[in-house]
Structure 1
Amino acid sequence: MSTASPASVDKRQRARVYRMKTAEHLCPFGMKTVSLLKRQGFDVEDHPLTSREEIDSFKQRENVDTTPQVFIDDERIGGYEEVRAHLGLSVPNQEGTTYWPVIALFVTAFFMGLAVSWATGDSLLTLRMPEYAIATAMCLLGLQKLQDVESFSTMFLNYDLLAQRYVPYGYMYPYAETLAGVLMLAGTLIWIAAPMALFIGTVGAVSVFKAVYIDKRELKCACVGGDSNVPLGIVSLTENLVMIAMGLWMPFRMLVL
């Protein structure tokens, strides 16, 4: 005789969700929680708390400090993140390193390089397509840093050798990277962009190599801003090596090819 699988049992479970839904505030985590439970096959009883009195009464009754609160089979699970953990799903705000911000940025830059190549040459694969993609990546990386230069410079000081000797370099770096990317994307003033990319790429590569492979330090990379959880390592080193390659290739192509 066949037995029901765990998945089929879970799909028959009932969940009660208590979430804030007042005229002043519609809780986004409450909406995300209800949507998640429905997608997971739960029969959801949605209980919006529509006034401050209802909210305070619920918190006092259940001895909780926040909403939403989810009950599955009369067992209190907690809020949105606790529900995700209970269901065996990833928790968005959990601590830990991730390469996803860098992966997303470089994939976006690659497709933007293809788009610019198509727009300027009516072909996806042109000689300049890799240049467009890398220059776009430099612009996007610079933009991430420019959102909070103070936080970037603080994290940057953990490993960059030049910034440790001359602190203002950490503040100048995002502007230099962005400017070099913009000029390379436009294919103009390469005599400024190429040396700039070559310089910051070389200093960065040496700094990352020393911190990671010689000193064996476990640090977070400031490549996508000062609040990232991207580990310092091969991705950061590759970013700097690509800038070095661009700093050498752009003048070579313009003067020799």
Structure 2
Amino acid sequence: MWYMPESPRWLISRKKYLQAQTVINGIDKRLLQEEEENYLDLPTPKQARICKQFQIFETSVLGNRIVKSAVMYAASLLTFYSSRKEANYVNIDVYNYLLLVSLITLMHPLTSTVLINFMGRKLSVASAYALLSVFYCTILIEASPQNIQFALFILILNFATISNNITMQHTVEMYPVSHTGTVLGFCTSFGTIGVVLQDVFDNGTELKQVRFVWYLMFSATAMVMVFFLPETSRRMLPLSERAARQLH
């Protein structure tokens, strides 16, 4: 049985896995094994086999994902803090803090991978959205009108993050990367800017202008993270595709 380096076998649908095997079976197995060992940069086939069962992304690509996630999560935390401060409620109680930590943990790519493995895609997505709903309902119950607007923006940012993470975890390595999360992040960021622009023009107070700067900064950050830190790299070309190119 042959593994695909970036995609654990349990994340691949049976149909797509069989399609991948059809491609791989048409290639010299000896060349393919040499390619896998060189690709993984591991000294022995045994270590390569062990690593391939758990490897999801290369170090460079995983680093990009960590940077992107860190900036987006930091933007969410800063927005959350500023909204609480504006509502004169800076002290975050333990309940909200645990909800926020749980939400960030749930959105992490490796965590979502484990959830998809044990719970299935639909149930894992439902769990993420359920926790997100509880978190924002808690905020909105205590919220002032200003806090509601900030909370809605965090909601948009985090939904884009969840969508991007879960979409990436379901990408089969020999198929093009789906851009669902990218499109969602792009549209929601621009939609947020449009809503806030209208808010600023309708109520041109100093407070509204300050809020607009916050919105603009975090929306721009989200878009930069989505578009300028790519999820793929040259070395993440599908293994079977790269081997096939060498044969041709």
Instruction: Mark yes or no: TM-score above 0.5.
Output: no
Q: Looking at secondary structure, tell me which structure has more strand per residue.
A: 1
Which one has the largest radius of gyration? 1
Question: Which of 1 and 2 has higher RCO (CA within 8 Å, sep 6+)?
Answer: 2
